Amino acid sequence: MNSSLSHQSSKVIAIDGPSASGKGTIAERVAAILHRDYLDSGALYRLTALYAQQSQIDWSNEAEIASLASALPVQFSEGKILLHQQDVTQAIRDEKIGMGASQIAAFPSVRVALLQRQRDFLTERGLVADGRDMASVVFPDAELKIFLTASAQVRAKRRALQLGLPTHGASFEKILNDIEKRDAADQSRAVAPLKPVADAYTLDTSALNIQESVQKILNWYRIIKK
């Protein structure tokens, strides 16, 4: 990392964690409270997976996926995510697209293609960034590093409620199975595996609501700022 980015990273709160741990909602609220910009890095990987699907490119084709990632026609506007000017905010949350995102995230060239795009979100306003390697790779000099987690059962329940599905039965079991598969893929990949860095605060949100989780992070932030 160059010295300029290292200096700027003193304005970054990096929040990592597995799928459906609540990191997106929590990170966005922390950013709003601290008047910082917000980066949902996972959306970039989901967008790349969706873009590849729309372009009829197989998720196993690393070279073509990396090429797509480097020229991703994405816009984040007023709470919406646009791909080629089309609103794909909900489309990228599909569980199949999530699995695709996990698959392509294992490719080194795809991660390289998206690395600078993620860093470009950091401005003088400061940034709250959530993802799976924000603290380990993208912003290793972040002022505050958080690793959010929750049990797979709790995360599956949250995802089901988010999708308006029952929290029991076949549809729930599929969501739980998909989350467990993605956990395994994210934790075992050779490049930037999902795990907390040594200097991260770990926060288990299984028994916490959004407001309580946000408050925990703000408390840690105030501690490091003293």
Confidence at 1, pLDDT banded by 50, 70, 90: very low
Which DSSP string corresponds to 191-213?
SS-S---TTPEEEE-TT--HHHH
The pLDDT tens digits of the residues spanning 6-51 come to 555 579 999 999 988 989 899 999 999 999 999 988 889 999 999 9
Beta bridge partners of 129: 14, 39
Distance CA 51, CA 63 (A): 14
DSSP state of 60: T
The pLDDT tens digits of the residues spanning 138-159 come to 999 999 999 999 999 999 999 8
Question: Quick one: pLDDT at residue 194?
Answer: 85
Confidence at 74, pLDDT banded by 50, 70, 90: confident
The pLDDT tens digits of the residues spanning 196-218 come to 999 999 999 999 999 999 999 99
3-225 is classed CATH 3.40.50.300: yes
